[in-house]
Amino acid sequence: MFILEKPYVSNLLKETLNKIELPVLGNKVAHEVFEDRSISLNTEREFVEAYNQDNTQPVYSNSENAIDWIDNNLTSGDLSQKIRSFKDKSAFRDMVRDMYPEFFYRTVKFEDLDSVKPEELPIPCVIKPSVGFFSLGVHMVESIEGWHQAVDEIKNEVEQIKTMYPAKVLELDNFIIEQCIEGEEFAVDAYFDKEGNPVIINILGHLFASSDDVSDRCYITSTEIINKHHDEFLNLLQEIGKRARLKNFPIHIELRTDGRGNLGVIEVNPMRFAGWCVTDLAHFAYGINPYEYFMGGLKPDWDKISGCCDGKVYAMVIGEIDSTVDRSKIKSVDYEGFKANFSKPLELREIDYREHPVFAFIFAEVDAENMAELQKMLHADFTQYLNME
């Protein structure tokens, strides 16, 4: 079963839903997406009835914007409870507390941020919304002065952020302060099958421009990354799935590893793989259709895939718009200029910059020996591609 929501529905997802005969909720987004396509959409009543016939069946949404609708309509099972146990970062920390007994975290109400004494915090630390998305409202704190600066910036950001996403996706009443998790950062697209066994669809390495960078500008995947980390990440997923009793459930998990077997979970995003349909990178890199694999209970043959993709790195780069830019004054975007940064672009997705602080997503293939192409993107000023009034 599929629920489509903003901010983005990819061509791969559209084509998949045209090909497979599974219920798709006929909400506003779905009708807009398929207005020129021959696909049968379910009314809300039909969709709920189909779910109630078997509330253990797999449900996928491309966006956490669907959480509110699920809470109000898919009430016969425990889907809402499972989503909340991950979406609320404080609830998730409580669930895995004994796995990380020394890990510091603290939940603070937005109006109480000024009363926090930074000298009592394990600096460096991270502060972020307890329920959040897309690095919005996330700040790295590396000093006492940095704490006060972060609080001031959060206050300025809150009102703007509220206009961008529904309350269920980004709740700004509570923030969580966490100690920094050291190590290399990764994001994993995975699902739990009908027996509760985890299946990894893709592993993405998160590239950063500096130690205080918290942006999502660039992720990469390669068979080298998969082969190196697959088994240890799978073991972690098995433990999380057992605690949350997950079956037929997709997740996007972000974590860090110190390379010595110590894994720290940053957060788990439920009900979906990588947001904005970025999970499609698995299709471009390895021929894996994430939606078909989840719905069909399919498992990637990583040994076979490794023989086809050695020496290649597949990247996703976000064309971010700096918060200082007045997006209402952007006349156009030089998409070809942005695309020209990549020796082998695979797909360029133009995004409505009037609605989002992003003008594009791009997938690209690079030789593993040519990582400088991607490192350059980490430090690039993307305002050069914005034509202003």
* pLDDT tops 90 at residue 382: yes
Residue 135 is predicted with a pLDDT of 59
Give the start-end residues of each E strand in 18-150.
60-61, 105-109, 125-131, 139-141
* Bigger pLDDT: 166 vs 280: 280
* Average pLDDT for 115-125: 89
* pLDDT tops 60 at residue 133: no
Within 10 A of 268 (CB to CB), how many other CB atoms are there?
Answer: 22
Class of domain 184-388: alpha beta
Confidence at 389, pLDDT banded by 50, 70, 90? confident
Edge-to-edge, what's the strand order for the sheet holding 105-109? 105-109, 171-179, 125-131, 139-141
* pLDDT tops 80 at residue 131: no
Give per-residue pLDDT as tens, 244-263: 999 999 999 999 988 777 78
Q: Which residues have a Cβ under 8 Å from the Cβ of 299 and sit 6 or more positions away?
A: 199, 293
Greatest Cα pair distance in the chain: 61
Burial class (CB in 10 A: 0-12, 13-18, 19+), 241: buried
Going by the DSSP 8-state scheme, the letter that residue 370 receives in this structure is G
Do 3 and 66 touch, CB atoms closer than 8 A?
yes
Please give the single-letter amino acid code of residue 140.
M
C-alpha distances in Å from residue 328, one per residue of 198, 361, 388? 44, 20, 9
Place of tokens 């996928």: 60
- Give the predicted TM-score (pTM) of the model: 0.86
Within 10 A of 335 (CB to CB), how many other CB atoms are there?
Answer: 16
Compute the radius of gyration of the chain from its Cα atoms: 21
Q: What percent of the chain has pLDDT over 70?
A: 94
Class of domain 95-179: alpha beta
Confidence at 160, pLDDT banded by 50, 70, 90? low
Q: Where are the domains of the chain?
A: 2-85, 95-179, 184-388
Place of tokens 């460096």: 124
Pairing of strands 184-192, 249-257: antiparallel
Helix or strand run (H / E) with residue 330: strand 330-333
* Average pLDDT for 35-47: 88
Q: Which residues have a Cβ under 8 Å from the Cβ of 152 and sit 6 or more positions away?
A: none
Residue 315 is predicted with a pLDDT of 97
Contacts 24+ apart (CB under 8 A), 159-162: 161/136, 161/137
Within 10 A of 278 (CB to CB), how many other CB atoms are there?
Answer: 23
